[in-house]
Amino acid sequence: MTLAGRTAIVTGSNSGIGLGVAEALAAAGADIVLNSFTDRDEDHALAEALGKRHKVRARYIKADMSRGEECRALIAAAGGCDILVNNAGIQHVAPVEEFPVEKWDQILAINLTSAFHTSAAALPGMRAKGWGRIVNIASAHGLTASPYKSAYIAAKHGVVGLTKTVALEAAGQGVTCNAICPGYVLTPLVEAQIPDQMKAHKMDRETVIREVMLLRQPSRQFATVEQIGGTVVYLCSAAADQVTGTTISVDGGWTAL
């Protein structure tokens, strides 16, 4: 399949899952807008290299996803949005009664409210073209829960609910909205946690991955950014024209338990 002629905006995409999704979409022929809250030379160089690698147009646009006006400005600055991947997210771990209020507000803003703003800004253009794809990167924690992650879990559950609502409002107009719910994905951020976990639990790498980090992931294997990217590309294909308002779990069986 080809996404040539389509423009894809991926929020929070200068590393990790977001960058992997951008790579997959570019490989399928889409022009790419990378995004994060920084505005460094290396951010723009990353987009330039991505474009050259896949022979597509690729740009980097700074926007702080904790600010609604910047979320909407990102869509406007892109000059068109056929595919919107709401990926930006942060995490903080603490008991409810100790959870910092400012962290709660920040997580809800970046992980949930940003998707509302970007979707609201992108939908009119998608409707006008009669084609559009909104893919929200939720989480296994959008379908289940764990202790000490109240803000993240509340936000990801909210993303799933937002996904269903947008899908219903756009039904029959050539626009779909779906959520991908990954389990643990091997990103640079997760990779960096492994040595600390090995030290804390006095285990070797493979044991700490299998018995600690992936305890709730029955496959005992990380998902990869390439697998998440491939799932996004599928949702942008004609095969997924009637797939809307649903969640796709890429979690090694986590939510089957």
Q: pLDDT for 170-204, tens place per residue? A: 999 999 999 999 999 999 889 998 999 999 999 99
Catalytically active residues are 152
Residues 181 and 191 in one domain: no
Cα dihedral 93, 142, 158, 116 sign = positive
State yes or no: pLDDT of 1 exceeds 80: no
What span, in angstroms and rounded, lies between the C-alpha atoms of 243 and 77? 29
What span, in angstroms and rounded, lies between the C-alpha atoms of 93 and 233? 32
User: Would you place residue 47 in the very low, low, confident or very high pLDDT band (cuts 50, 70, 90)?
Assistant: very high
Residues 24 and 135 in one domain: yes
What span, in angstroms and rounded, lies between the C-alpha atoms of 30 and 22? 9
Residues 124 and 241 in one domain: yes
Number of domains within the chain:
2
The pLDDT of residue 189 is 85
| Contact criterion met (CB below 8 Å) for 10 and 21 | yes
- Domain assignment present for 256: no
The whole-chain average pLDDT of the chain stands at 97
Angle between helices 150-170 and 101-108 (to 10 degrees): 20
Residue ranges making up the domain that contains 178:
7-185+223-251
Residues 87 and 206 in one domain: no
What span, in angstroms and rounded, lies between the C-alpha atoms of 72 and 87? 15
CATH of the domain at 110: 3.40.50.720
DSSP letter at 148?
A: T
pLDDT in tens, 66-112: 999 999 999 999 999 999 999 999 999 999 999 999 999 999 999 99
Residues 164 and 66 in one domain: yes
